[in-house]
Amino acid sequence: MKFGIMVNEGPFNHQASDSAYQFAKAAIAKGHQVMRVFFYYDGVNNANRLSEPQSDDRNLVKLWGEMAKTHKVDLVVCVAAALRRGIKDELLAEGFHISGLGQLTEIGIAADRLLVFGD
């Protein structure tokens, strides 16, 4: 099955990004495809390359980036949500790119299922 994922909360503050990541990982392991992850609301903070969790903690920003690279998952950060939170190209971690809200609608149309993680 082809999945689209929407992440609506920032990392560490909320479990949404962890849950979305674990879901994506499990789906890929079962042979499904995760076409795109769309980061919206505070979810755009998942793309901040300056994020530096303690060394014994998971690094969500890095984990998403690695998944994007290994499994060709498109990590889209919403431009409107990102700009008002100061997330710009120069701050993006590897594997993420900034694009428009149309990418959310597009994945809603193209994927078999769109899953929303957040409050």
Partner 1 sequence: MSEEPVFDTQGVVRKFMFVNRKAPYGTIYALEILESVLISAAFEQDISVAFLDDGVFQIKKGHDPKDLGMKNFSPTYRALGGYDIEKLYVEKESMEARGLGPDDFVVKVQVVPAAELSKLMAEQDVLITG
Closer CB to partner 1, residue 56 or residue 90? 90
CA distance 113 to 15: 21
Closer CB to partner 1, residue 54 or residue 67? 67
Looking up tokens 């300056």 gives 50
10 near partner 1 (CB under 8 A): no
Binding mask 80-119 for partner 1 (x = CB under 8 A): xx-------x--x--xxxxxxxxxxxxxxxx---x-x-xx
> Is 65 noted as a catalytic residue in this protein?
no
Side-chain-side CA neighbours of residue 102 (13 Å): 2
1 near partner 1 (CB under 8 A): no
Q: Residue 82: which of 29, 22, 19, 7 has the closest Cα? A: 7
Known catalytic residues? Answer: 78
